[in-house]
Amino acid sequence: MTTPTIELKPSSSPLSAAEREAILANPGFGRHFTDHMVTIRWTEGRGWHDAQLVPYGPLALDPATNVLHYAQEIFEGLKAYRRPDGSVASFRPDANARRFQSSARRLAMPELPVETFVEACDVLVQHDKAWVPEHGGEASLYLRPFMIATEVGLGVRPANEYLFVVIASPAGPYFPGGVKPVSIWLSENRVRAVPGGVGDAKTGGNYAASLLAQAEAATKGCDQVAYLDAVEHKWVEELGGMNLYFVYGNKLITPTLTGSLLAGITRDSLLKLAADLGLEPEEGRVSIDQWQADSANGTLTEVFACGTAAVITPVGTVKSERGEWKQSGGEPGEITMKLRDALLAVQTGRAEDVHGWMHEL
Ligand code: PLP
Ligand code: COI
């Protein structure tokens, strides 16, 4: 597969340095975007072509563009961090690139070469480096690569044209209020994904399908929804945009990748990082009955959610049709916070990167 060279068409920033600094002081999540984006096209018979770095701006799409009707779309999420010496590094972009390829295969889309994905992210961060928040806090630059089917027409079949885009957004905490434990609504009837479906692909439809359950959770006073498996409605899978970890003293269990949950890169990193800290992480099945009973008998000491946007977020309260209970007294657990600090230390360059996860720019 040929890798196109990215042609640079930068513009000067539409914002003054002072305006940018004001945004960086309180970026929120996904509300502000940097000055540029990278776009690469794919056409059947021609492959990847027209790779460009251009000013950030709207995409013009014909109303009959395939993605608007049949949702042939995939995306990724990764972060770049400012290090103590002022340099910038992204976290495991190659892992996101490989997952993007896997999502592409599932959605019958062309696979972008790993090196092109990584280069597109690098070129964008290099040009918009001033948007990477300063070292010291928790803020980072969130990168959102995505691909859409751009063929015009209403036929239901894999498109013959696609557009790959990378945009970037300075990001503070995903949940407003910092590291505050979140409340979870345990959904026993609505499912996120089914065996043989697209639950392990990062495709927009999974998120669209989760919005009603998320809105229902909000009416119960909860921040997030935890989904169970679609067959037995028994086994805990994940949240709408995060994986889960269950802490039993020194032992950690994260739900096994059954095909209907996303193989989170944070989840994978924590399997390794927890072992480095002398903990015993493993993949396994956790049932809803077990979650409730082990919280009541005190053996399940902490539960946390993890993902690129959410980093590590403690679970404080669980609500379901079967009742409500607190997790680690509703406070952030000790192991949760230890892992959180260890992960952020690697990502922000405060700790040695023994696994070679950081990609310097
Ligand atoms: N599960 C879902 C459904 C997600 O959207 C995400 C976010 O990307 C995750 C889990 C966590 O994955 P990662 O750690 O790669 O961000
Ligand atoms: C991410 O963590 O990168 C995601 O894509 C999750 C999304 C809910 C923001």
Q: What is the pTM of this model?
A: 0.97
Q: Identify the band that residue 3 occupies on the pLDDT scale cut at 50, 70 and 90.
A: confident
Output the CA 201–ligand 1 centroid distance in Å. Answer: 10
d(CA 103, CA 256): 19
Tens-place pLDDT, residues 114-156: 999 999 999 999 999 999 999 988 899 999 999 999 999 999 9
Look at the alpha carbons of 264, 268, 299, 301 in this order and tell me if their dihedral is positive or negative.
negative
Ligand 1 within 6 A of CB of 24: no
Phi and psi at 134, nearest 5°, equal: -70, 160
Closest CA to 33 of 54, 50, 61: 54
Q: Answer yes or no: is pLDDT of 178 > 80.
A: no
Output the CA 308–ligand 1 centroid distance in Å. Answer: 7
Q: Identify the band that residue 176 occupies on the pLDDT scale cut at 50, 70 and 90.
A: confident
Give the containing element (helix H, strand E) for 36: strand 36-43
Ligand 1 within 6 A of CB of 347: no
* Ligand closest in space to the Cα of 92: 1
Instruction: Locate the ligand 2 atom nearest the alpha carbon of residue 77 and give its number.
Output: 3
Q: Identify the band that residue 1 occupies on the pLDDT scale cut at 50, 70 and 90.
A: low
Output the CA 176–ligand 1 centroid distance in Å. Answer: 18
d(CA 81, CA 99): 21
Ligand 1 within 6 A of CB of 203: no
d(CA 284, CA 292): 17
Averaged pLDDT for residues 177-192: 90
pLDDT of res. 212 = 95
Tens-place pLDDT, residues 45-104: 999 999 999 999 999 999 999 999 999 999 999 999 999 999 999 999 999 999 999 999
Tens-place pLDDT, residues 315-357: 999 999 989 999 999 999 999 999 999 999 999 999 999 999 9
Instruction: Give the C-alpha distances (Å, rounded to integers) separating 172 from 129, 162, 226.
Output: 16, 31, 23
Helix (H, G, I), strand (E, B) or coil at 344: helix
ipTM for the predicted complex: 0.99
| Contact yes or no for 1/116 (Cβ under 8 A) | no
| Contact yes or no for 23/170 (Cβ under 8 A) | yes
Closest CA to 138 of 273, 245, 27: 27
